[in-house]
Amino acid sequence: MLLPSQAAIRGRSIVLAAFVATLFLLGGCATGPRVVTPEPPPIPEGGDAVPEQNEIVLTDGTQLAANAPWGRIKIEAGPGLRRVYTWRDNRRGVILEPRNERFAGSMGIHYEGKPPVWEPAEGITQVDLEEGQRRFETVDDAMIWMQIRRLRYSYTNDGLVVGWKPKGDTLVVELWQFYIDGKKPTSLPGAEDSRFALGPVEVVPQRMSPVLVYSDGRTEPYIPPTTPTNDGNDDSSRTASSSQASNCNWFKNLFGNCADDASATDAADSVTAQGDSEAASQAAAAAAAANAAAASADANSAEAAEQEAAEAEDKAPKAEISAKVVNVRSGPGTSNDVVTQGKQGDSVVIRDEDGDWRYVEFSDGRKGWIADFLLDHED
C-alpha cells in the first residue's frame, strides 16, 4: 500500500483551506456591521372574553384615538380583554384583568404591574391601566371627581373620558364612560368632542428605525449617508457609506456582490465616474427633493407638536397662593425639605397631585409641593 507523500498532503490541505475561506467570504462581509431593521415589539394574543358583569367602554374591534393633555393616545380593543396602547410612536399590548368587586365605584377591567409580553419603551416597563364606567348623581359631582384626580383628562359631551401620563417607569392610562343619574350626559362643561375619534380598529405597527448590528452582538443607531453638494467637494456621503454599508471584503467587491449594500449616493458617484453626468444630476435632484419633503414634514410635525403642547398648557389647572407666605417642599408632606417659598397672589400651574398636596410650578420655573388648602383654584 502506497502512502501519500508529505508534499501531497500539504497540497491537499492548502486546497481545502482555500475552499473553506472562499465559502466564508461568499457568506457575507468578513468585517463591518450589518444594517438591520428590527421587527416591531410583540403584541400578546387576544385574551379571554370580558365577563358579563364587568363594565367596559370599548367593544371588540373598536379603537379610540384622543388628544389628551399629555399628548395623543390610541387604544385598540380586543379580542376579549386585550388592549393595545399607542403613545409617542410606541405601541404595546396588555391583557387586562376583570375586577371581581367594585373599585372606586367601577366594576371595570384593569392591569397594574409589568405585563408578561412587554418591551421597554422610552424607560416605560410597567403599567397602571383602568377601563370602566363611573356613575354620578350630578354633573358637578363628575367635574369635581376629575379635578381631584391625579390625571388631567380630555372628555366629550356624552361622557367619554381619557387621561394618561408617563409616571417614572410606569404608563398610567384611564378610560371611563361617565353616567349622570343613570344616563350618558348630553353636555359637560369644557368638553371637546373634536379631540376624539372612535371607530373600527386600524392596526398600524410601530415604525422601527434601522440599526447597525456588529459581529459581537452590539448595536448602534444607523445614520444614512448624506447627499453630496453640487460642488463635488463633499466627501461625507462617500465616507459614511464606506464606514457603514460598504465594509465588504475583496471577494465580494471583485464579483459585485456589494452592490446591494451600496447607498444611492454611491450609485450616483459611480455613474459620475463613468461619465454619465446627466444621470448623476437627476439622482442628486431626486435626493434634494426627498430631503426638502422630509424637512417640510419635520417642520409640520414640530409645529403640530408645539401647538398641541400649547393647548395642553392652556388646559393645565391653575391656582393662586392664598396665604401670606407658604413653604414649598421637595415632597408631599411637612417632613420634606423646604426648597423655596411663595407669597400671597403668586400664580402657579398644578402639575401633579398626591392626596391633599399639589405639585406646582411658578411662572419663574420654580417647582415644589404645596398643601392644597393654601391654594385658591381657578375655575
The DSSP-derived string for 110-171 is EEEE--SS---BTTB-EEEEEEEEEEESSHHHHHHHHHHSSS-EEE-TT-EEEEEEEETTEE
**How far apart (Å, rounded) are the C-alpha atoms in residues 94 and 42?**
11
Please, which pLDDT band fits residue 151 given cuts at 50, 70 and 90?
confident
Which grid coordinates are listed for 236? 461625507
What is d(CA 23, CA 20) in angstroms, rounded to the nearest whole number? 5
Q: CATH 2.30.30.40: which residues of the chain?
A: 318-377
The whole-angstrom separation of Cα 318 and Cα 329 is 18
**357 to 339, 347, 353, 363: CA distances (angstroms):** 15, 16, 6, 19
CATH tag, 318-377: 2.30.30.40
* Reported confidence tier of residue 47, pLDDT bands at 50, 70, 90: confident
Rounded-to-integer distance, Cα 290 and Cα 279, Å: 17
Tens digits of residue pLDDT in 306-340: 666 566 666 778 999 988 888 899 899 888 888 88
Query: Residue 316: its pLDDT value, please?
Result: 79
pLDDT of residue 250: 45
Does the pLDDT at position 301 exceed 80? Answer: no
Dist. CA 32–CA 212, nearest whole Å: 9
> How many other C-beta atoms lie within 10 A of the C-beta of residue 233?
7
Burial of 140 per CB tally in 10 Å (0-12, 13-18, 19+):
exposed
Place of cell 398636596: 357
Q: Cα–Cα distances in Å, from 222 out to 202, 205, 225, 259, 260?
A: 29, 20, 9, 19, 17
pLDDT at position 211 is 87
CA distance 168 to 208: 24
Distance, CA of 355 to CA of 129 (rounded, Å): 20
Q: Are strands 196-200 and 347-354 parallel, antiparallel or unpaired?
A: unpaired
Q: How many CB atoms lie within 10 A of CB 237?
A: 21
Mean pLDDT of 261-267: 45
pTM of the model: 0.55
Model confidence at 96: pLDDT above 80:
yes
Q: What share of the chain is helix, strand, coil (3-state, %, to 5)?
A: 30, 30, 40
Contact 359, 332 (CB under 8 A): yes
Q: What is the overall mean pLDDT for the chain? A: 79
- Max Cα-Cα span within the chain: 112
Residue 17's pLDDT is 54
